[in-house]
Amino acid sequence: MLYPQLDRMKLHIKPLSARKNKVVIERDHIPVDQLPQNTSEIFQAVINDTVDRIKKARKNGSSVMLTFGAHSIKNGTGPILIKLMEEGWVTHLATNGAGIIHDWEFAFQGESSEDVKANVDRGEFGTWEETGKYINLAILIGAYEGKGYGESVGSMVEKEGVNIPSEEEVKERVTNYESGDYEKAAAALDVLDNIRKFDLKPGWMPIPFPFKKYCVQAAAYRLGIPFTGHPMFGHDIIYTHPMNHGAAIGRTAQRDFLTFAHSVNNLDNGVYLSVGSAVMSPMIFEKSLSMSQNLHIQKNEHMENHYMLIVDLAKSSWDWQKNGEPPATDPAYYLRYLKTFNRMGGYMQYLSADNRDFLLALYQKLSAHN
């Protein structure tokens, strides 16, 4: 039995310029020299410890991974994240689908973050032409070109456009798959479907990004640093647009997951920072760490001494001795991996802090030691 589906082609999709936004990047971004508001002894001690560990990790060639939720982008920390990359302190950045979108919207129009409740009531939430069309197009063409999710969007912003292949080029790739590269042929079919459905003209499609200097994924693409996107299907506003293509999402997201896992595989004596990501970060990390240990154990090795710092606003007063496993509503839920992680040879800390304060203090301490 085939269940009925909603037809996205019937949606009334408005231009992004018609949307009211809460955050204006030129007004609300965080300058890298702004002083953190958190001056507590615990905060300073964790920052100093983390800075020392990052310096050692970079010296020995181990991964320094920074995984963050969308609020780190919405809060205007893009300039800090870009500086951390430019000065060579981080080797991998990762975020969820919403983080990708806010970063793209800031680069495109300098604003992001709509009123969810009001726009759902009006049937407008997420149904915005440029965000849906261009991000989905970046991912579709990125899958065709063999790129990952974050790299596809970062490439579009950095290059200020995307190249649409001709039908002839696409058909040739579809028919010439005797080498066994069926993935390329399948990705080409996805592109061909959208070329015809949306009458996409072949050649370079220019897309201006006047606020590109704030775009983290564009900077990562320019610097050759992995910036991976880890979406969950249906969670993000780009799924409301008819150009959204599930296969392209899957191809690029799978590539990014394996790129993320490759960085985790180099995390021995390295640093993993998880900032404001209660679901995506621990979920992809635990699978990646397990696969990495699997490979190390086959070589009679074991990953040891990796450091993990969880940063979130909420304070936790959960008593593990009295109450056992915490509920998902308590920030201690983050630490459900603590015992397992420490048994694997890692060391984990939890820091209650605003992501703006944490990233500011981290960058400023690292920069001062540079």
List the chain domain ranges: 30-165+202-368
pLDDT at 308: 93
pTM: 0.91
Q: Write down the pLDDT at residue 322.
A: 52
CB-CB neighbours of 41 under 10 Å? 7
Q: How high is the pLDDT of residue 314? A: 74
Please state, rounded to an integer, the average pLDDT across all residues of the chain: 91
Residue 327's pLDDT band (cuts 50, 70, 90): low
221 close to 227: Cβ distance less than 8 angstroms:
yes
Please name the amino acid found at residue 212.
K
What is the dotted CATH code of the domain comprising 30-165+202-368? 3.40.50.10690
pLDDT of 369 over the 70 cut: no
State pLDDT tens for residues 255-266: 999 999 999 999
Residue-wise pLDDT for 206-258, tens only, equals: 999 999 999 999 999 999 999 999 999 999 999 999 999 999 999 999 999 99
Q: Are strands 64-68 and 92-96 parallel, antiparallel or unpaired?
A: parallel
pLDDT the model gives residue 186: 92
Smallest CA-to-CA distance from 346 within 258, 278, 264, 281 is with 264
**What's the token pair of residue 305?**
């001494």
The mean pLDDT value for 281-295 works out to 95
- In the three-class reduction of DSSP (H, G, I as helix; E, B as strand; rest coil), residue 22 is classed as coil
Q: Work out the burial of residue 59: count CB atoms within 10 Å of its CB; fewer than 13 is exposed, 13-18 middle, 19 or more buried.
A: exposed
DSSP 225: -
Q: What size, in residues, is the chain? A: 370
- Cα gap 285→288, rounded to integer Å: 5
CA dist 207 and 201 (Å) reads 14
Q: At residue 130, does pLDDT exceed 90?
A: yes
pLDDT at 1 exceeding the cut of 90: no
- Residues 73-78 have a mean pLDDT of 97
* End-to-end C-alpha distance for the chain, whole angstroms: 63
Q: Can you tell me the distance from the alpha carbon of 344 to that of 291, in angstroms, rounded to the nearest whole number?
A: 13
Which is it for the CA torsion 228, 233, 237, 240, positive or negative? positive
Region 170-194: what's the mean pLDDT? 86
pLDDT at 316: 59
Is the Cα torsion angle 357, 363, 366, 370 positive or negative in sign? negative
Residue 34 has what DSSP assignment? P
Q: What is the pLDDT of residues 338-348, one digit of tens each?
A: 444 444 456 88
Q: Give the Cα separation of 29 and 155 in Å (integer).
A: 22
Percent of the chain with pLDDT over 70: 90
- Nearest residue to 229 (alpha-carbon basis) of 268, 262, 255: 255
